[in-house]
Amino acid sequence: MRATPLLRNLARNALRNGTAAATARATPPQSWRRLATSPLATDAVNLDLSQAKALTCHNMMCEHVGEPCGCRIAAFLERRSFPKLETLSLRGAGLRAVPDAVFRLPRLRELDLSRNELLRALPDDLAALESLETLDVTETALEALPARLFDLPRLRRVAADAELLVAPAGWTAADGALERGGVIVAAAASSRARPPVAAPRRRAFSTGISRPKQNAADVRDLLRTRLSLTDAGLDRVKRRGSLGARATVEPKLTWLQTRLDLDAAQLGKMVVKFPPLLYASVEDNLMPTLDWLQTRLDLDAPQLKKVVLGHPPLLGISVEDNIAPKLDWLQTRLGLDEMGLRKMVLRFPSLLAYSVEDNLAPKLGWLQRRLRLDEAQLGKVVRVRPQLLSCSVEDNLEPKLNWLQTRLDLDDAGLRKIVVTCQQLLGLSVEDNMEPKLQFLAREIGLSRPELREHVLRIPAILAYSLENRYRPRLEACRAAGVDPAYAVTTAPYTDETFDRCLERRGRAQM
């Protein structure tokens, strides 16, 4: 398993500061979970957690699961103690709030919170960082800086978008900068390339439009014109968080469209289904995830496109902590070769979003016990119909199997046979599909209950064929040709062309 960017950053910073270098070389942590219990960073002076792939949330109780939400950063900082830490970078970490653990770093001098486009406020607890000298909050959704921030005794530099640099008492604003005691507190040059202007004095609650609001308006206009999103689609995207800035979103859309050969409608559907695409990093997230999926599953370009369009949130799931071990587990549990695994994912890309512990393992175990399947039979059922794993056992699978067994007077062996032979049955509705079909066959063709049972045991797919497109027209054709209507059932698997030829011959034979 290769090291994540997070681990590489930690190791690089440790070497730079002369701390824990030997430990990093001797026993490099292999994952986020091992990092959380490793002594590697305990004595670190510099810590860079910026844009690590490990930031993607996998906590199913979190409303931002599958997105970079920063909760894993918070958990990591809470579990470890960093008494000597002086520099911390959380740049582009998807933070919505500053982790409480940050305020318990007594020696912290430099804090980088830039490019957290969902960060809307800084807490007053920031005043606890008495050693803080520089703070970077550029490219965030902040609308104001807390007044207590400027009471920090050692604060010498605040980098922020220009309109946030409102000079409090003892500070001066000039030419896009704040000055304190003759030391320049500079406004960072925004990546949005706005011309430098002197930050005007204004009230803390300005009635003018702020940059975050202007950014949101710019991105909405981009999504509306380029992707033809409706107002409903735009609102859905906006509800998931900040839209970011046009300067970062537009090239990201271009990259995705080129990489996956998407048209505007397909790209628009991806954004609506998974708005975090707008603030995911191409270099640290999208590109490596797509490359890994294509290599691991041996997908060609159209197949990769199909997988991603089938479930865009895959691009927000960690490869190392989630997708890779899940694919290995599925391959081992179901006895799949590489081709079988690829076909399974192509049929049901959302499979990769399900939890092994909470969904896949218990559901596979239940299917195997309920139908008394051996390993080969279980593998066949799930490989051909992986969508079964999205069905609820209590609300769908169990009542459906019970209905089939009761309705057709099947023993366990008979039930197993029809499911293994025609896996599609478990995806059909009882009320809207199978029951009306059985009633039609009994009423129009005159099949008794035992005859229905025998037909289904012999050809389980009888229950899967369309009533309107197959049985009704073929029954009318049999009657017109003077052929026994039951012929429409026994020839149900035939194509229309084959059925017509066979019906014609049978009609001539009866003349």
Domain ranges across the chain: 49-202
Could you tell me what percent of the chain has a pLDDT over 70?
Answer: 75
Q: What is the mean pLDDT of residues 20-36?
A: 35
Provide, rounded to the nearest whole percent, the portion of the chain with pLDDT above 90: 41
When pLDDT is cut at 50, 70 and 90, the band that residue 175 belongs to is low
**Maximum mean pLDDT: which of 87-96, 185-194, 203-212, 298-307:** 298-307
Structure confidence at residue 212 as a pLDDT band (50, 70, 90): low
Structure tokens at 167: 């000079």
Reported confidence tier of residue 201, pLDDT bands at 50, 70, 90: very low
pLDDT in the model for residue 121: 84
Confidence band, pLDDT 50/70/90 cuts, at residue 211: low
> What is residue 278's predicted lDDT score, i.e. its pLDDT?
84
DSSP collapsed to 3 states, 26-82: HCCCCCHHHHHCCCCCCCCCEEECCCCHHHECCCCCCCCCCCECCHHHHHHHHHCCC
Separation of alpha carbons 313 and 275, rounded Å: 9
Residue 16 has pLDDT above 60, yes or no: no
Say if residue 379's pLDDT is above 60.
yes
Return the pLDDT at 189: 41
Average pLDDT over residues 256-277: 92
Of 373, 490, 475, 499, nearest to 426 by C-alpha is: 373
Q: Which one of 23-32, 347-356, 501-510 scores highest in mean pLDDT?
A: 347-356
Q: Report whether pLDDT(13) > 60.
A: no
Please report the pLDDT score of residue 151 as a whole number.
Answer: 81
- 124 or 102, which is more confident: 102
Residue 333: which residues within 8 A CB-CB, separation 6 or more? 360, 361, 364
Q: Is the pLDDT of residue 182 over 80?
A: no
Summarised one tens digit per residue, pLDDT across range 42-101 is 567 788 776 554 555 555 445 455 555 566 676 677 666 778 888 988 887 778 888 888
- Ranked by mean pLDDT, the top range of 54-63, 212-221, 437-446 is 437-446
For residues 32 and 72, the answer to whether their CB atoms sit within 8 Å is yes
Statement: residue 356 has pLDDT above 50: yes
CATH 3.80.10 fits 49-202, yes or no: yes
Rounded mean pLDDT, 4-20? 42
Q: What is the per-residue pLDDT across 385-397, written as a single tens digit (0 to 9) for each?
A: 999 998 999 999 9
**CA–CA gap between residue 465 and residue 507 (Å, rounded):** 24
**Two tokens, residue 494:** 């035939």
Going by C-alpha positions, the residue among 164, 269, 153 that lies closest to residue 210 is 164
pLDDT for position 203? 33
pLDDT of residue 68: 52
Amino acid identity of residue 123, one-letter, is P
pLDDT of 89: 87
For residues 326 and 329, what is the distance between their CA atoms, to the nearest angstrom? 5
Give me the pLDDT at residue 344, please. 95
Query: Is pLDDT of 29 > 70?
Result: no
- Identify the pLDDT of residue 55: 55
Average pLDDT over residues 271-296: 89
Helical spans, DSSP H, in 311-411: 324-334, 338-347, 361-371, 375-384, 398-407
Instruction: Give dist(CA 336, CA 354) in Å, integer.
Output: 18
pLDDT at 98: 87
Give per-residue pLDDT as tens, 154-163: 888 788 776 6
- Given a contact cutoff of 8 angstroms between Cβ atoms, the answer to whether 41 and 84 are in contact is no
Pick the range with the lowest mean pLDDT from 77-91, 283-297, 357-371, 438-452. 77-91
Q: Is the pLDDT of residue 198 over 80?
A: no
Mean pLDDT of 109-135: 84
- Band of pLDDT at residue 177, cut at 50, 70 and 90: low
Burial class (CB in 10 A: 0-12, 13-18, 19+), 245: buried
Q: What is the pLDDT of residues 228-252, one digit of tens each?
A: 888 888 888 877 666 667 888 889 9
User: In this structure, are residues 46 and 90 in contact, taking their beta carbons and an 8 Å threshold?
Assistant: no
Kindly report the average pLDDT of the chain as a whole number: 79
What is the 8-class DSSP label of residue 197? -
Angle in degrees, CA 101, 81, 140, rounded to 5: 30
Its pTM stands at 0.58
Q: Which of 82-96, 248-262, 322-336 has the lowest mean pLDDT?
A: 82-96
Measured CA distances, 402 to 29, 360, 369, 415 (Å): 49, 21, 14, 9
Residue 104: its pLDDT value, please? 82
